[in-house]
Structure 1
């Protein structure tokens, strides 16, 4: 039996339960553009405010992870810099990596959030308790997301999501106060 709209949890209710926030990379943590050197190396550009948002989640006790289809030394460096300890790269089937992550952390799927932007993210987005998407995501992603940022991927969408989670879990004000006090 389908649930009625009145019994469907709001995005804020869903966000309030997130213990582990998982991110795709291309189109989420970056703008999706891929720059290649003459040697074939890939370069990516990350938003510093998005990175700070991920650090704030960790400070609030929300674990973070990355599941991405591409393999990149740049992503490994960025994950290490942000102290994201759960990193799955070169993943063909993201749901397999997601299930491994659940076993590794002991966190239930409904206590996870996932932010993705394109079809390879759909299977995981349909399993988590809180599915999020950048504003410029593929229409099929936007149709299935519980929450959509105003910002585009790589341009503050992750920070907007992090702030939303912190507000939903009533941790934003304490973190802001600590930042103001130095």
Structure 2
């Protein structure tokens, strides 16, 4: 008898740590430069609120990004992201360090990426996600793909998917409706 493949929902139900790339995932991938050479990025507030919901649900968060930016450090702090790896040239090495720091297995982790540099980690984790506008090779290898584009709520979609898969969504929604979620600005 054939065994059915593991579904994206089953994979999402096991995630204890969700990792995000930045450019093309938490942002739209566009880079704006000032005359002084500083980079500016735009983030979606619902993605930020989603990160806080993950933490509230007991799911840890991390960022692994190839660029180094003060803006990312500030945004990560606002979103209460626990683990931030910036300026990473070797994402699998950063992932291995993250596993060592947390004591988790790769199967207990999720990763959302959008381009080839993310594939090595995406192929290791238990739950690989991609924004709708990711490179086709990334979409082909993801367990789950958002309807939203990177920087336009894709991260929030994956957060909602994780919360539903772990049966935590309704309780968090009820708390929001009753006013119990104060101070969770995205």
State the partner residue of 1:83.
80
1:7 counterpart SS class: coil
Q: Return the match for 1:26 from 7, 23, 45.
A: 23
Rounded Cα–Cα distance in structure 1 between residues aligned with 2:90 and 2:133:
23
Rounded Cα–Cα distance in structure 1 between residues aligned with 2:15 and 2:154:
17
Aligned residues: 179
Rounded Cα–Cα distance in structure 2 between residues aligned with 1:108 and 1:20:
10
Rounded Cα–Cα distance in structure 2 between residues aligned with 1:58 and 1:167:
15
TM-score (norm 1): 0.97
Rounded Cα–Cα distance in structure 2 between residues aligned with 1:8 and 1:160:
23
State the partner residue of 1:144.
141
State the partner residue of 2:60.
63
Change (3 A) 1:56 1:5: farther
Rounded Cα–Cα distance in structure 2 between residues aligned with 1:5 and 1:60:
35
State the partner residue of 1:171.
168
Would you say 1:162 and 2:159 are equivalent positions? yes
Change (3 A) 1:27 1:5: farther
1:64 counterpart SS class: strand
Which stretches in structure 2 are left out of the alignment for 5+ residues?
Answer: 180-186
State the partner residue of 1:47.
44
Which stretches in structure 1 are left out of the alignment for 5+ residues?
Answer: none
Change (3 A) 1:35 1:5: farther
Would you say 1:127 and 2:121 are equivalent positions? no
State the partner residue of 1:181.
178
Rounded Cα–Cα distance in structure 1 between residues aligned with 2:129 and 2:119:
11
Using the TM superposition, give the Cα deviation of residue 96 of structure 1 relative to its aligned residue in structure 2, in angstroms: 0.3
TM-score (norm 2): 0.95
Using the TM superposition, give the Cα deviation of residue 85 of structure 1 relative to its aligned residue in structure 2, in angstroms: 1.7
What does the per-residue CA deviation read over 1:32-58, in whole Å, with 9 as the maximum and x for residues that have no partner?
Answer: 000000000000000000100111000
What root-mean-square deviation, in Å, do the aligned CA atoms of Structure 1 and Structure 2 show?
1.0
